Structure 1
Amino acid sequence: MRVALAAAVRTLPRGAGLAYEPKFDGHRLVIARSAADVALQARSGRIVTSAFPDLAAAALQLPAGTVLDGEVVVWHAGRTDFALVQRRAAATAARAAVLAQSLPASYAAFDVLELAGLDVRGRPYERRRALLVDLLLPLGPPLQPVPMTTDPELAATWYETLPASGIEGLVVKRLDQAYPAGRRGWQKLRHTDVRDAAVVGYTGTPRRPLALVLVLPVGDETPLVSSPLTAALRREVAEAAAARGAAEPGATVTAIGLGEVPYRTLDPPLTAEVRHTSARHPPPEVLRLRTDL
């Protein structure tokens, strides 16, 4: 099943005929309920049913011939936690059964693609939304429709207030729009935060740092690797690191797209001003070192 995609925008789209939904920070998941069983498909097309037995069991309540599009999330301490979703997704079948008890998953459904064996992707979003709500509201958690509004002012309020719950931003759709399978037919507005972060190390060499290892003032304090430094920032980081003495090598950190990479630690840390749209993707962008702190 090819899922719909969204193109990034910098400002909140406004106008007649638009709908706004919160963008959850989880894993994209298609639920397909056949007459015999349930299959859970990741965005990549991989079948991940064994990783989420709790959602698979809940989906058995759906009528046969139902296909839903949405996001699987794990709530912890009042907010969605992407690291816990990753943990669930990577679990073996045996481990998944245990995690389903301690870290139950929720499904934030935002579209219905097939209902009672009928392909409804060609119908307007407004109609598909009504079908989705009618289908899921009687069932209740963990299968739930995402909130939706056509009021841009309420959407703007969501955008400002919901990040504390782990919401990444907003997805904007046209009410008259068919499901844009495989295309960037929707729009997404993600939060961009500029804030100070602790620089606990750097990748590369003392003379040529490549990226910073950061601890952001939000989340679980897991170190993150920044995007590559500009030439000017490389020189500045090299000078600031040299003034602190020899950096200790040997630590490792997980970098997006690279896996585990080695880095040199800084003690005491530096401080940098960074811009980031979420704690996982894309990597934080370093704007400047805060040598004034």
Structure 2
Amino acid sequence: MSENQQSQVRRVTIEADYAGQRIDNFLLAQLKGVPKSLVYRIVRKGEVRVNKKRCKPDYKLQAGDLVRIPPVRVAESNPLPSANLDQVQALNQQILYEDDLLLVLNKPAGLAVHGGSGLQFGLIESLRALRPDAKHLELVHRLDRETSGCILISKRRSALRALHEQLREKTMDKQYLALVRGHWQAHVKFIAAPLLKNTLKSGERVVRVDAAGKPSETRFRVQQQFANCTLVEASPITGRTHQIRVHALHAGHPIACDPKYGDQVFDAAMQEIGLNRLFLHAHRLSFKHPQSGKTITVDAPLDKALSQALKRLPA
């Protein structure tokens, strides 16, 4: 979308493929390069109209809606974030599976999945910058910034809806590898503990087990036992913020090098063997393809930091 096109009011008729999408998310995709705060401001001020009426940011679009998009100053192009240029361009080498409707990528640790909280660019913004012709790239689910591994991106609204349905129906299978403190008892295979999320004034999210929280369930299975720690496979049944990390802590086995929920003594021992990141990795993702219905299973290899740490652990 050029600067010149943005100097005039645009009126867009919503196609069926966008039905059900929130107006704020639609605008963020249409107005690439515009700060999120400005998008919400023009909605609040009534400059964005749906069928000639004011709307709220959470309005869900319907097929045939006529959306008025006001003139907004947009960056001349969708530039790559210069601070992390190498990391962004390296994302192409992290793609594990791709077809016309979706892609699965092995997200590096330390990369947020989307901008916000002072970050202009996250994974999804970086992919959009790398692929300016791909107009409909959307996150299907999220991973914590510190977590690496499989993340699913849709290329069409129809695929996004179908994949979100699988998440709601709990038919999408996500499996993580986590290195935890101590000896995990093999008979502890299931943790059901409600999780309550608090957002601090700084914007930081902190989660704890609390009876007032949302129902949350995770399956655990021992993969390998070491002298002072255990490699476990964790499969979240629900999808709460920081779920695996808090459930592991609740079981008495915090994850190695967790900056929010970790154990300082254990983490110091892990740092001595060279581990300087959260040991939580989404290593396998299984889902039904939204078009063919076939089961797709994608595996993401451990990065060098995690694989090297496992080799250095005493048995």
Compute the TM-score of the two structures, normalised by the length of structure 2: 0.25
RCO higher in 1 or 2 (8 Å CA, sep ≥ 6)?
1
More strand per residue: 1
Compute the TM-score of the two structures, normalised by the length of structure 1: 0.26
